[in-house]
Each structure stands twice: as C-alpha cells, then as structure tokens.
Structure 1
Amino acid sequence: MPSRYQQLTREQLAVLVPELLLTGHLIDRAGMAFCIAELGRESMTEIAIEEWAGASPIYTRRMQRALSFEGDDVVTIFKGLQLDIGAPPQFMDFRYTLEDRYHGGFHLDHCGALLDVEPMGEDYVRSMCHAIEDPTFDATAVATNPKARMRPVHRPPRVPSDRHPHCAWTVTIDDDSPAVEPIPALAVNARTRAATLELDPIDPADEGYGDYAGDLVSDVDFAAFSRSALVRLADEVCLQMHLLDLSFLLAVRDRADSPTAGRIALSQLVGHAGITAERLHRALGLGDGPEDAARLLELHPLANPAAYVDLERDGATVRVRRSPAHDDGAWISLCGPGSTRALQAVVRAVDPHLDVEVAGTESDWTATVVRTDAAAPEAGEVAITRFSGGAAFRFEPRRSLPLFVS
C-alpha cells in the first residue's frame, strides 16, 4: 500500500517528520491527566512506565532496520533516541558525548517535559524524572543492547531552581552487567499488527541520504534525507505513536474497568488529535476549507500509515474500511458514526466552524467535512493537552555536526 505521505514534497516532508516526533511525545500529555483523575498519581506513574517499556524496544528496532543503523553500541542507542517520539528534537534537547563504543553520555539543554511538570510540584517531578525515567531509559536501550545502562549524573528536582542543563546522564555498556529483562507487555505488543507491519523499503537511488549508517550527528538534518527516506520516516513515526498508544491501553486496562478505560482512551485521542492537527495544519500551510480539513484527516497520524489504516479521500469526504488498525483496537477504532469527537477535533483545528457528518458501520464509514454557522468551542481534552509547552513549541534552524569519540 503506497504511503499517503508520498503526495508531499521533499521540503514538506522535512518539516513534517520533526512535527510528528513532537506530537508523538504529546500522547502522554493528552492521556496522563485523565489517568490521574480516574486512577491517581501512583497508577499514572505505573502506566507511564509500562507504556514506554512496552513499546519503545519494538519501534526502536523498526527504525534501526529502516534506516540501516543496527548495532550494539552507544552510537546506535543515540541515533535511536534522535528518531524517537520520547525524545523529539529541540523540545527534548539531547546533547550527546562519546568516549568510546561502549561509553558515552548526554545532557538536556532544554527538557520540555520537565517544564510541563515543574508547575505541578516536586512529587510529579520525582515521578517523571526518577520513577519513570529509570526503567524506561533502560528499556529503550534494550533495543540495542540488553547490557546497556543509563544512569543519572544529576537530575531534577533542580537545585538551584534554575539549574542548567536540566539533567545529565551516563550511558555504559558492560558485558558483566545482567541483561535487562523486558516487561510482559512487550511480548503482547510485539504480536500486534502495528509491530509486524511491512512498509515499502527506501529507494537507494533517490536523491539525498537513504539511511543513517554514517556518523552520529549533533542534530539530525531531516532536509538532507531523500524523499523516499522521509516518507518511510513519517510512516515509522506514526507507527511509534500507535505502538505507544496500544501499550498505554494495555496498562490502563490492567488497572481500570472497561467503561473507565474507554473514557481515558477516547479523551487521550481527542486531546492528541486536536493539537496534532493544529500543528500539522500550520506546518504544512494547508487552507481552511472543508476539503483542506479532509486532507488534514488524510495526513493525520490517526489515519497513517496507509498500510495500517484503510482510508481514502475524495474532496471533502474520507472513506474508512476495516483494516489492521481495527484489528489492534488502534485510534481509528475509536472513530465512526457513534464516536465523532476525535474527527471533530481534527477538522476544528482548521476552522471551529467545521464539523463532520459520519455515516456507515462501526468499521466501514464515510466522514464528510461541512461548514456550520456557529463556531464550536474548543474541546476540553484539547485544552488540557494545550497545557504542554509542546503545543506551541517552535523549531529553530540548527547546524548538523558530526560527533566523534572525545
């Protein structure tokens, strides 16, 4: 199934990919407030750990294979982090250092996640920067080498309160260390259609870089990649989001009854769908009519990759059919004639006067974007997600410099 992102130019794709990495990070911001409200802070912390540990090893290996940088060393770990929704460029501003193949480190010049959480108080900072990061950093490294360990040099709560950099970590691979054991949810997530989905390979003859097999760089220059590579990157980042969401749902369902889990799942999707649509609409310079909003739906992560979500657009109407995403219970399964709120959040990011008319069955339906006389208020879930600095974050130009052993 050809990627829907093939309709974009190389220049548009170079803008799109970092946007997708950033909005993937906002899945947590969209969902965790509702976990706290329904289940409490301690359960939220447990859910976050299982969410990332049950997804990141799968999608990290996928990205390594896609861009041909598989290995067992620190460089491979760092390259994976640069293309991970858990560490979106600049918003989570990782600065890397290399000592040798098995020793390195990083610090964060800017941690958008910390700045989101600090106003909530020290307990929440400790939950994120201690309870969640310790196991999830190691789980991410497992994708490259199960004997890798990430350990803090310093981390928040910040003392003094304006301490910079926000945190610093060492990364060590030691053959004498016991292997990190994956959590049980990882095996469950590994059996999903998202985990095993085959995507079109990168065309090595396309102009630009077709892989990341060369030197580690300080900042990934997405414009240097070929159009084919950027299409594959965009599809892989969307799969990262689906895998993270599926892992999130596994953790929530272990702690909540079905109605509560359903409320949390839909609230997370609505909040994420609206903010992501707003950012993509601005980044791609789309218009503000019904057909533009339908095109935004076509390009939105909830509808991609095309091999995962069966959706086609005709003017201002999109048609959805049953697909692997429905088999997994992914985002698209929360949309349809009886559940329009996520679709409304997307089109109203274009213009609050827009709405959707949806008809069909639960997994086979059409949605037509229409203009109404009255402007709809912003959905509460979108307003909650907007609390994150990532909602309004702006990328800046960076020079991409090679990093070598110090």
Structure 2
Amino acid sequence: MSPTSRYATLSRAELATLVPELLLIGQLIDRSGMAWCISSFGREEMVRIAIEEWAGASPLYTKRMQKALDFEGVDVVTIFKGLQLDIGAPPQFMDFRYVVHDRWHGEFSLAHCGALLDVEPMGEEYVRGMCHDIEDPTFDATALATNRRARVRPIHRPPRTPPDRHPHCAWTVIIDESHPEVDFIPAMEVVAESRAYGCELDPIDTDDPDEAGMADYSGPLLSDVDFGAFSRSALVRIADEVCLQMHLLVLSFGLAVRSRTKGDAALENSIRTKQLIGIAGVAAERIHRALKLPGGPVGALRTLELHPLLNPAAYVYADVAADIVQVRRSPAFADGSWISLVSPSSDLPLQAIVAAVDPRLRAEAVGTESDWTVRVIETDTAARELPEVAVCKVSAGASWVFQDRKSLPLTVV
C-alpha cells in the first residue's frame, strides 16, 4: 500500500489554496531551467529542448489526471479539462478562455499569457520560439492523450500586432476522422517506463459521508475550476498528481539535456541542479506565503514537507518529525528525479528552500547520497539570495497573486 499523502495533513481550504500554487510552480520550472540551457547550448537548442521536454511528458501526465478524476474521453471537452489541470497552463497566469461548438470543434484564447509577458522583453526571436516553434508541436502532443486526430491551430498569435493586442492569442481545436493520427514521441516512450508514470496513489474516497464536494471532474466543463468545490480527498489526489507532473517533466527535460551534453555528466548534472535550485526557492516562498506557515525552523521544515521536491509520498520516501526530515532511497532516486540531485554534499536546493522562509536559516544535512537527514538551524547572518533563484524570479509568475473567480459551466455555443 502506498504511503499516506503528505497533503492529507492539510484542510480542504488549505488544499484549495495549494493546488493552483502547485500548478503555477510547475509552469515556472522552465523559467528556472531554460536560462542555463541557453548559456550552454544557445537559443535554438533551448527551443528544441523545450519541445522535447513538454512533448515527452504532457501526454503521460494528462492521461493520469484524466483517469484520476474520471473524465477520460475522446472529445474537445476532455482536452479542455485536461488543460485546466496541467502545469503548462496554470490558472489565471495562463488565462485560458474556452468555447465549445460541439464535441469535435472548439476554441480557446489566452486573455493573459504570463509566459508571453516574460519573453516579450527578450525580443521577437524569443516570442516566435515560444509561440510558434514550441507551441505547434506541444499543443498537438498534449491533445494526443485524448485523441490522436485532434489538431490545435492558431487563429492569431504573437508577435502581437498591435503590441497591446488582446486576447494574447487564439486557437481552434478540431477533431476530424480525416486528420492523420499524431505520431507518438520517442521520448514519451522512455518517460513512460519511469517509476513516476507508474506511481500508484491512493484512490479518491467516494464513500465517506463526511467528504463534501466533488470527487471527480466528470460533470460539465467549467469556465474556471473552483478547487474549493472538490472534496478534500480529491484535492489530495490532485496535489499529488500535479507533483508527479513536475517529476515527469523533469525526467523528460533530463533526457533532452543529456542528448546534448555528449557524455559530459558534469555539465548535465550542473544544468539540472541549477534548474532545481531556482524552482526550489521560488516554490518554497510561494507555498510558505500561500499557506501562512510559521517562520523559523518549524515553518521551514513544514514548507519542505509540502514541497514538490518531497512529493508525492508514494514516490519520494521521507520521514518527517518535528525537528528533522529523514530522506530514504525511493523510486524517485531510481528514476534520477529531483531528489537524486540533493545530498549532504549537494545541499543548495535545501538552502534555497529554507532561505525562502527566512534568509537567516540554514539546512544541515548529514548521511549518504541516498539516505540523509536534514535539520534547520537559525543563524545571525542573512544569506544572499542564490543566483539560480534570482534567475527564476525574473518571471512575473514568481510574484503572481491569484484572484477569486466564479466558476460557471460552459455550454455548447
């Protein structure tokens, strides 16, 4: 039986706050990693890495979420529901608006695209790289999880003309039997062999009379997902699934980087570790603030316990006590996921996490490469922000503030 989710310690309201945070954190992984790919391989190779990374992971984690929340299907509505629960499309920061014409025809637009606003200051080459070169193959790859005859095609997209054009982009989604099937992606087959993809999580409890709220997403497509409307058990499962999305993306990213380092393991490890350090700090800051966790060592250890680095519990084994976290060898180590990059001799991701709570805190890790413990101590000196964290914070997503919204069912136009 899989370990109890670490998110099961949270209330329903806390989980409803945390889930959109986790979705946004997943999107920011690239803001942390791609800068180091540019510096090592150049802009064009960075674009190719991003394509391979998302195409190799998104069809897999999309299928997992469909099964978990009981909305498997072959139509446009299924595709749109999947996007609403995808780290590539976090709510509000990537503000998808959906229109359904019928089961096989739909449209979406982005009223706000945080990713676009991040890259527009970098120039038109970067905008085209993201909105043309990356989006074309990766949107089709995402739809592949639902129907291999789905096609996602632009109505308009950046570079924006005029420069303040809204919505930022608009796309059609058409499923037609005359469309040739989208090819499977070689990297996806490799990632599908991972323990992350095969990880078994506790099922959503649908029998507990005290479990108020939706246990799945089998009902109508909603304009905005109201996470507070889900049951506590469903939210625990969603949070764990979103963390697995991150691990699958990271594994796919590792494959893409490895193919370009030409056997230079040190370079590969450096890029992957810098990516982790950056997102570790930003994620910790957002989780700590969103859940209003306490300060000091207690708050830092609680933040670490809820951090994607250590979740889900069925994938990353760790024993959490009041003053210590003990990490053990787990499926995540075997996959070479994030936790395999952390050890007593490689502790900067841990330092980034505790410093996000209070820069005067330090993490003290002792043990072996795959079995170690960490304590948090207070010092009199504030640590300087790590450069990898500063790079990730270039994205407006690092400081994004979610707004309350009404969730309305979308009907066929």
- What TM-score bracket applies, with the shorter chain setting the length? over 0.9
* Residue 363 (structure 1) aligns with: 370
Please give the per-residue CA displacement for 1:106-144, whole angstroms capped at 9, x wherever unaligned. Answer: 000000000000000000000000000000000000000
Displacement after TM superposition at 1:316 (Å):
2.4
Counting only pairs closer than 5 Å after superposition, residues 149-160 of structure 1 correspond to structure 2 as 149-160=151-162
CA distance in 2, matches of 1:115, 1:369: 37
* Residue 278 (structure 2) aligns with: 271
CA distance in 1, matches of 2:172, 2:5: 38
Counterpart of 1:334, as a letter, is: L
Counting only pairs closer than 5 Å after superposition, residues 299-338 of structure 1 correspond to structure 2 as 299-338=306-345
Displacement after TM superposition at 1:250 (Å):
0.3
* Residue 390 (structure 1) aligns with: 397
Q: Tell me, yes or no, if structure 1 residue 229 matches structure 2 residue 234.
A: yes
* Residue 134 (structure 2) aligns with: 132
CA distance in 2, matches of 1:183, 1:73: 21
Q: Tell me, yes or no, if structure 1 residue 181 matches structure 2 residue 183.
A: yes
TM-score, normalising length: structure 2: 0.98
Counterpart of 2:220, as a letter, is: D
Of stretches 166-175 and 308-317 in structure 1, the one that deviates more from structure 2 is: 308-317
Secondary structure, counterpart of 1:349 in structure 2: helix
Counterpart of 2:406, as a letter, is: R
Counterpart of 2:360, as a letter, is: H
Identity of paired residues, percent? 66
Q: Tell me, yes or no, if structure 1 residue 74 matches structure 2 residue 76.
A: yes
CA distance in 2, matches of 1:295, 1:309: 16
Displacement after TM superposition at 1:184 (Å):
0.5
Please give the per-residue CA displacement for 1:186-216, whole angstroms capped at 9, x wherever unaligned. Answer: 0000000000001000011321100000000
CA distance in 1, matches of 2:102, 2:366: 59
Q: How many residues align?
A: 406
* Residue 212 (structure 2) aligns with: 207
Extract unaligned runs of 5+ from structure 1. Answer: none
Q: Tell me, yes or no, if structure 1 residue 372 matches structure 2 residue 374.
A: no
Displacement after TM superposition at 1:336 (Å):
1.1
Q: Name which of 271, 278, 289 aligns with 1:282.
A: 289
Secondary structure, counterpart of 2:239 in structure 1: helix
Superposed CA RMSD:
0.5
CA distance in 2, matches of 1:55, 1:98: 26
Displacement after TM superposition at 1:7 (Å):
0.3
* Residue 305 (structure 2) aligns with: 298
Q: Is the CA contact (8 Å cut-off) linking 1:194 and 1:328 kept in structure 2?
A: yes
Displacement after TM superposition at 1:261 (Å):
1.0
Secondary structure, counterpart of 1:254 in structure 2: helix
CA distance in 2, matches of 1:47, 1:259: 18
Extract unaligned runs of 5+ from structure 2. Answer: none
* Residue 115 (structure 2) aligns with: 113
Q: Tell me, yes or no, if structure 1 residue 258 matches structure 2 residue 265.
A: yes
- Runs of 4+ aligned residues of structure 1 deviating over 3 Å after TM superposition are none
